[in-house]
Amino acid sequence: MIKVDKNNPNKVDYWNLRYQSKNWEEMKGKLQTEYWANLILENLPEDVVSNIKEEKLSIADVGCALGQLTSIFAKKFPKSNIDGIDFSDVAARMATELYPSLDFIEGKLNDNYDCVVVSNVLEHDDDYMQTIKEHLKFVDKYYIVLSPFNESAEKIVSEHVVVFDSQNDFPEEIDGFNRIFIKEIDVRSSGFWHGDMILVIYEKKVEEKIEEEIKIKVEEEVKQEVTKKKFGRPKKTKK
């Protein structure tokens, strides 16, 4: 991983302006997002796809822009609840106008989802590992990442402040999640990118999930006991 030595331009005001001015659309941003969404779906392992469908796993598209990936995933997984999330209020509003049947949220990921998708986001973040760790706090099953890989030094996009150049940039284990899939994909023929992309999937460890379920159960039992003590047990009716 290489950190690009420059000021990070990726602020809310910057992205709001890109969306408001239609620059995002003029630069084929919507078409790119559609392409990335389909690229992810084409390369997802079958067992992951089946699990999402069978278990009706909820999905969050973090950094959703104008919602194309959110929409495509909603069609692929019609029984799943799926939300788009973006820190740009303009993006969230425009996505809602484009796809009124879907929910788009302005802000950060702060609710739990079974599956979180982060497409073409982490390369904009100079502390990407901390961002991953923050995201994982709200992931119950799968964390799916798509990012540019081995970006050419001569062609680094002005908004990219991190260049991923090794699979080790995505460790095998992060905070109770195992990396279960990683793949480098050549997309030079797409016309949207001049090199490779990397698709990475993390899955929450089973023991971590069991521990969490036990913790929740204990907390619920404690609450029930507190309620009983507070209100008393129902008196038996005398015959």
The confidence score (pLDDT) of residue 77 equals 98
Map residue 117 onto helix, strand or coil: strand
Q: Which of 83, 64, 31 is nearest to 191 (CA)?
A: 31
Q: What are phi and psi of 237, to 5 degrees?
A: -80, 130
pLDDT in tens, 57-95: 999 999 999 999 999 999 999 999 999 999 999 999 999
Is the confidence at residue 10, as pLDDT, over 90? no
Is the confidence at residue 8, as pLDDT, over 90? no
pLDDT in tens, 143-198: 999 999 988 766 777 788 888 999 999 999 999 999 999 999 999 999 888 889 99
Q: Which of 142, 146, 133, 122 is nearest to 69 (CA)?
A: 146
**Token pair 């106008």: residue:** 97
**Token pair 């090199």: residue:** 195
Of residues 26 and 236, which shows the higher confidence score?
A: 26
Strand partners, 178: 173, 203
- Model pTM score: 0.83
Question: Residue 133: how many CB atoms within 10 A of its CB?
Answer: 13
Per CATH, the homologous superfamily of domain 2-206 is Vaccinia Virus protein VP39 (3.40.50.150)
Contact 177, 137 (CB under 8 A): no
pLDDT in tens, 223-233: 887 766 665 55
Average pLDDT rounded to a whole number, residues 4-25 = 83
Edge-to-edge order in the sheet of strand 177-186: 103-106, 82-86, 59-62, 113-119, 139-149, 196-204, 177-186, 173-174
